[in-house]
Amino acid sequence: MKVAINALHNAQGADPGTGAPRAAVRRPPLSQRWRGSRNLLPALLFLGLFFFAPLIGLLLRGVLEPVPGLGNYEQLFANSAYARVLFNTFSVAGLVTVISMLLGFPLAWAITLVPRGWGRWLLNIVLLSMWTSLLARTYSWLVLLQGSGVINKLLMALGIIDAPLEMVHNLTGVVIGMSYIMIPFIVLPLQATMQAIDPMVLQAGSICGASPWTNFWKVFIPLCRSGLFSGALMVFVMSLGYYVTPALLGGAQNMMLPEFIIQQVQSFLNWGLASAAAALLVVITLVLFYLYLKLQPESPVGNAR
Amino acid sequence: MSAVIKEAAHGKTLVTLRNLNKHYGDFAAVDNISLDIQDGEFLTFLGSSGSGKSTTLSMLAGFETPSSGEILVEGRSLVNVPPHKRDIGMVFQRYSLFPHLSVRDNIAFPLAIRKLGSAEIAKRVDAMLKLVQLETFAHRRPAQLSGGQQQRVAIARALVYEPRILLMDEPLGALDKKLREDLQDELRQLHRRLGITIVYVTHDQEEAMRLSQRIAIFSHGKIVGLGSGYDLYQNPPNAFVASFLGNSNFLRVTASSHGAAAFEGQSLAIRLTSGLAADQDALIMVRPEKALALSTEQATREPLPAGWNEVNAKVGEVLFLGESQTCQVVTAGGTEMTVKALSAAGMPMQPGDTVKVRWVVADACVYTEWAESDLSKAAGAH
Amino acid sequence: MLLSPNAMGRPLRTGLYLTTGIIAAFLLLPVVFIVLLSFGSSQWLVFPPPGWTFKWYDQFFSNPEWMDAALASLKVAVLTTFAAVALGLPTAFALVRGRFPGRELLYGLFTMPMIVPLVIIAVAVYALFLKLGYTGTLFAFVVSHVIVALPFTIISIINSLKLFDQSIEDAAVICGASRLQAIVKVTFPAIRPGMIAGGLFAFLVSWDEVVLSVMMASPDLQTLPVKMWTTLRQDLSPVIAVASTLLIGLSILVMFIASALRRRNETNA
């Protein structure tokens, strides 16, 4: 808490310069250039110490342990079991992105169509599911999907299947559970994009001769594109790094990268290999996130004034 | 552009609105409107917001379905035709260009929908770009254009597929005054060249006057006046139109005999009016610029000519407005009047002076029926 | 047209609403199911349950392990909330009002813990605390939770600070307040919704956090999600459903507070 109190103190002490541009004019150019940056120190210090330093330390272990070199990476790509992990990770993330997008699109559309009343309730459902404990939801799916679970019983009662389907402890369970969890992350950005579309533009499309079908594909979808892209990218990135859901709904046979990393650390104490895998995941994540930022129209810290 | 130019066949009815209604619950946004729109004419729907003009336009475009009534184009009903099959052009209030398409692709959109060949599309789009003078902006996105340029793209997009009817919903409302006047002139020329039928919606009466051949004045979901701007202004069909268009002086009178009425105990000559019985209350309307204010000396120098009326009044305020001057006066009975004259004519009055206000009997309209709310400005909305 | 329900045509509209209803049900299903399950009498989680009971709640509240875990969760979440807001506030001020190069980059750095997979943060921080001998301490829990909660508080404070017209603060200074007084008396009240929202986010993030907590936990100190996690790996006991229901209940409560605050703020504006 000492760090925190310092932070608050700094916030108050450093502000005359940042608040009043007139007062700052007479300052020397260098401090002018870094005006207001002192307030960043507490958080920078905190993250530097507890986030960036350990992160860099971890990534270094990938090339230093057990012996310096790229041996860990070689292993990661050469060993077919490890390559299988990479393949699982990407295919599950891809599948989850597509499914959650297909399910999220109509939801976002309906919320945009009916902003009050029902739409408000739909949005609340999305938010509720997003903020409900991840563990609780995953546990719920575990019980729902198990061999003697409600879904299998229902499908058998309807005569669709004769024997229970295996939907947990394999990738099916992982895909169902993760798609479910990712829907809100598609709906929210997509809904914001749709909300910003001028409905008159669609009227214009229709008076220009576009049938509802043509209007949908040639005007509506292109206008939703930025929301679709950023939502999908976000979901894909998040899916690559998810641990809890795959660990509980997935099986020991078909691991994904995050489980693999934990397993290497906890069970095999193989920090070198785990770090190499972690570095791979970090690099992929950051590259995709950079793309995501490129798609954002405006700067997050841009000034409203 | 010769393909678009058609002979304006005046006098032929293109669109008929018959007993058109639009209700939202108990509220009648459009209340039993019937109207014939001539082929090739420039018709303006004029009214304040909420008067039903935009709803009527939306029904023409197909975005609103009438609660009852018919919309006929050359005798064919449009009511059940969806907007994309109506072949009507429309220019929207906020332009509503496709933000993801370039200027060229925006204009080409309706043609691509109609599956025209790419050479034909290119030819027609080029012609349109030339027409609206945006050749050099063809590859820009709408967001990179000024408001006036965006509006020209919207017009080009609406005209490129050669619709017979062009609807315009307050298309110039978002632009500043100077630009608006320039575009009004362009629009009028465009209409003259293309001979297309234009239905234009605005709340700006000067714009309506400047642009249109006929004006339909909307109030409370009804058309309360229809005709050329000149007729509507000079001979308003009712007190509402008189007060809505321009400025007006209303005098409450009681008819005494044929062609005469009592105003504040004084006898005035009035136009012969059918349906006006003796002792019936009536209203006479004089436009401020049709009235003259004379000082007492002037009045003794110039005796009242035949066919003129005269009332005594006291000057309240004289305002100099540049090209014209106005003088507010109050009669002995408390009726307020405004007299307007060109500055060049001079109006040498001071507040407090006694004046005589004169007007030609034939210039004053007589109304036998009116609602009190008609006499105040901006009463058109619900 | 496609954005106005009245004009889009009945078949399309019906289809969309139907699809949406099914998806919304899909979203609600696990949440509702788990709450029902916590009252079901079957040890084997048979559904629909043969009867209804409070016995799992009794088991939960009478078991000191679960109670300790719940208490630890609360303690960690509250500390995380305060620490994250205290760290996030000056950072947001600097990022919105400061005029220095690289603000975009710095913003990226501060939000990075949101982007980097939790697993990797967990392993990295675990390695550090293992070396320092801090694992299993309250400090380790709070520090690791603050790392991931901080971006949320920074973002929500930035959002409300961007909406605040700084000339109002200048007006307070013209009226005779010192810059510090102006910030405390004028700016802080104005951005309070953002600060509270940021705090609520931090609370929820910490309250729900599994991955980091599992790595930080020791037999002596574990949060509710950790206890659930370890229990889950052994069996699917209905007591977990009770714990889940309590987690859900608190999340709903916090969401409710957040939306009530937002509504009050909207009516004030």
Q: Which residues of A touch C2 (CB under 8 A)?
A: 202, 212, 215-216, 219-220
Q: Which residues of B touch A223 (CB under 8 A)?
A: 98-100
Are B231 and B256 part of one and the same domain?
A: no
Task: Give A201 to chain B, closest Cα distance, Å.
Answer: 5
Are B235 and B251 part of one and the same domain?
A: no
Are B277 and B331 part of one and the same domain?
A: yes
What is residue A169's predicted lDDT score, i.e. its pLDDT? 87
Alpha-carbon distance of C74 to C64, in angstroms, equals 15
Task: Output the furthest CA–CA distance in chain A (Å, rounded).
Answer: 83
Task: Give C261 to chain A, closest Cα distance, Å.
Answer: 15
Task: Give B82 to chain C, closest Cα distance, Å.
Answer: 10
Residues 228-267 of A with CB under 8 A from C: 237, 240-244, 248, 258, 261-262, 265
DSSP B126: H
Are B93 and B199 part of one and the same domain?
A: yes
Residue B74 lies in a domain: yes
| Domain coverage including residue B284 | 247-371
What is residue B17's predicted lDDT score, i.e. its pLDDT? 95
How deeply is A159 buried, as exposed, middle or buried, from its count of CB atoms within 10 A (0-12, 13-18, 19+)? exposed
Domain final residue pick, B239, B271, B304: B239
What is residue A148's predicted lDDT score, i.e. its pLDDT? 83
Amino acid identity at B176: D
Return the closest-CA partner of residue B362 out of B287, B312, B307, B311: B307
Partner-chain contact A204 B61, CB within 8 Å: no
Kindly provide the residue ranges of all beta strands, DSSP E only, lying in chain B, ordered along the sequence.
13-24, 27-38, 42-46, 68-73, 76-77, 88-91, 165-169, 197-202, 214-219, 222-227, 249-257, 260-263, 266-269, 281-286, 292-295, 308-320, 324-331, 336-342, 354-360, 365-367
Beta carbon pairs, B and C, within 8 Å: 4
Q: Say yes or no to pLDDT of C41 above 90.
A: no
Are B67 and B199 part of one and the same domain?
A: yes
* Average pLDDT of the residues in A137-141: 91
Q: Say whether residue B40 is in contact with chain A using an 8 A CB cutoff.
A: no
Binned at pLDDT 50, 70 and 90, residue B343 comes out as confident
Are B209 and B276 part of one and the same domain?
A: no
Q: Which two tokens stand for residue B169?
A: 């919903």
Are B183 and B261 part of one and the same domain?
A: no
Residue B127 contacts residue B147 (beta carbons within 8 Å): no
| Residue scoring higher pLDDT (C267 or A57) | A57
Q: Which residues of B touch C7 (CB under 8 A)?
A: 63-64
pLDDT in tens, C102-161: 888 888 889 899 889 999 999 999 999 999 988 889 999 999 999 999 999 999 999 889
Residue B380 lies in a domain: no
Q: Say yes or no to pLDDT of A305 above 50.
A: no
Q: Say yes or no to pLDDT of B7 above 70.
A: no
- How many independent structural domains does chain B possess? 2
Residue C96 contacts residue C162 (beta carbons within 8 Å): yes
User: Which region among A20-34, A156-170, B84-98, C40-54 has the lowest average model confidence (pLDDT)?
Assistant: A20-34
Q: Say whether residue B324 is in contact with chain A using an 8 A CB cutoff.
A: no
Alpha-carbon distance of C191 to A304, in angstroms, equals 14
Residue B4 lies in a domain: no
Residue B351 lies in a domain: yes
Domain final residue pick, B215, B239, B263: B239
Task: Give B265 to chain A, closest Cα distance, Å.
Answer: 58
Helix/strand number for chain C, H first, E second: 12, 0
Task: Give A126 to chain C, closest Cα distance, Å.
Answer: 7
Among candidates A37, A129, A244 on the partner chain, residue whose Cβ is nearest the Cβ of C94: A37
What is residue B10's predicted lDDT score, i.e. its pLDDT? 52
H-helix or E-strand spanning residue C166:
helix C166-174
Q: Say whether residue B108 is in contact with chain A using an 8 A CB cutoff.
A: no
Among candidates B85, B100, B109 on the partner chain, residue whose Cβ is nearest the Cβ of A223: B100
Binned at pLDDT 50, 70 and 90, residue A10 comes out as very low
Residue B379 lies in a domain: no
Among candidates A19, A271, A305 on the partner chain, residue whose Cβ is nearest the Cβ of C179: A19
Q: Which residues of C touch A282 (CB under 8 A)?
A: 116-117, 120
CA geometry: angle A8, A12, A15, nearest 5 deg: 135
Q: Say yes or no to pLDDT of B231 above 70.
A: yes
Amino acid identity at B135: E
Alpha-carbon distance of C92 to C107, in angstroms, equals 9
Q: Say whether residue A283 is in contact with chain C using an 8 A CB cutoff.
A: no
Residue B15 contacts residue B71 (beta carbons within 8 Å): yes
Return the closest-CA partner of residue A131 out of C60, C238, C196, C200: C200
Task: Give B8 to chain A, closest Cα distance, Å.
Answer: 23
Question: Distance between terminal CA atoms of chain B?
Answer: 43
Q: Which residues of A touch C27 (CB under 8 A)?
A: 125-126, 129, 180, 183
How deeply is B70 buried, as exposed, middle or buried, from its count of CB atoms within 10 A (0-12, 13-18, 19+)? middle
Are B134 and B200 part of one and the same domain?
A: yes
What is the percentage of chain C residues whose pLDDT exceeds 90?
A: 46
Return the closest-CA partner of residue A178 out of A119, A241, A254, A84: A241
Are B223 and B256 part of one and the same domain?
A: no
Binned at pLDDT 50, 70 and 90, residue B165 comes out as very high
What is residue A297's predicted lDDT score, i.e. its pLDDT? 58
Neighbors of chain C with 3 or more C-beta pairs under 8 Å: A, B
Are B177 and B320 part of one and the same domain?
A: no
**DSSP character string of A97-134:** HHHHHHHHHHHHHHHHH--STHHHHHHHHHHHHHHS-H
Taking the alpha carbons of A193, A199, A203, A208 in that order, is the dihedral positive or negative? negative
Alpha-carbon distance of B48 to B53, in angstroms, equals 8
Q: Which domains does chain C have, with CATH numbers?
A: 1-53 (no CATH), 63-268 (1.10.3720.10)
Return the closest-CA partner of residue C216 out of C80, C50, C45: C80
Task: Give A79 to chain C, closest Cα distance, Å.
Answer: 22
pLDDT in tens, C149-193: 999 999 999 988 988 888 888 888 888 888 888 888 888 888 888
Tell me whether strands B365-367 and B165-169 are parallel, antiparallel or unpaired.
unpaired
Domain containing residue B157: CATH number = 3.40.50.300
Residue B19 lies in a domain: yes
Q: Which residue has the tokens 């030819």?
A: B123
| Residue scoring higher pLDDT (A166 or B258) | A166
pLDDT in tens, B55-92: 999 999 988 889 999 999 998 999 888 888 898 999 99
Are B226 and B272 part of one and the same domain?
A: no
Residue B29 lies in a domain: yes
Q: Which residues of C touch A205 (CB under 8 A)?
A: 1
Task: Output the furthest CA–CA distance in chain B (Å, rounded).
Answer: 80
**DSSP character string of C217-244:** --SS---HHHHHHHHHHH---HHHHHHH
Q: Which two tokens stand for residue C240?
A: 């977990």
ipTM of the complex: 0.87
Are B289 and B229 part of one and the same domain?
A: no
Amino acid identity at B142: P
Q: Say yes or no to pLDDT of A293 above 50.
A: yes
pLDDT in tens, C195-220: 998 999 899 999 889 999 999 988 88
Q: Say yes or no to pLDDT of C30 above 80.
A: yes
- pLDDT mean across residues, chain B: 89
Q: Say whether residue A298 is in contact with chain B using an 8 A CB cutoff.
A: no
Q: Which residues of A touch C150 (CB under 8 A)?
A: 43, 46-47
Q: Say yes or no to pLDDT of A2 above 70.
A: no
Binned at pLDDT 50, 70 and 90, residue A49 comes out as very high
* Average pLDDT of the residues in B156-180: 89
What is residue B6's predicted lDDT score, i.e. its pLDDT? 41
Q: Which residues of C touch A127 (CB under 8 A)?
A: 255
How deeply is C52 buried, as exposed, middle or buried, from its count of CB atoms within 10 A (0-12, 13-18, 19+)? exposed
What is residue B53's predicted lDDT score, i.e. its pLDDT? 94
Is the bond preceding C48 in cis, omega lying within 30 degrees of 0?
yes
Among candidates A128, A139, A282 on the partner chain, residue whose Cβ is nearest the Cβ of C34: A139
pLDDT in tens, B259-318: 889 998 888 999 888 778 888 899 999 999 999 998 888 888 888 888 899 999 999 999
Residue B8 lies in a domain: no
Domain containing residue B313: CATH number = 2.40.50.100
Binned at pLDDT 50, 70 and 90, residue C7 comes out as low
| Residue scoring higher pLDDT (A75 or A115) | A75
Q: Which domains does chain A have, with CATH numbers?
A: 2-64 (no CATH), 80-295 (1.10.3720.10)
Partner-chain contact A133 C16, CB within 8 Å: no
Q: Say whether residue A205 is in contact with chain B using an 8 A CB cutoff.
A: yes
Q: Say whether residue B142 is in contact with chain A using an 8 A CB cutoff.
A: no
Domain final residue pick, B177, B211, B239: B239
DSSP C136: T
Q: Say yes or no to pLDDT of A77 above 50.
A: yes
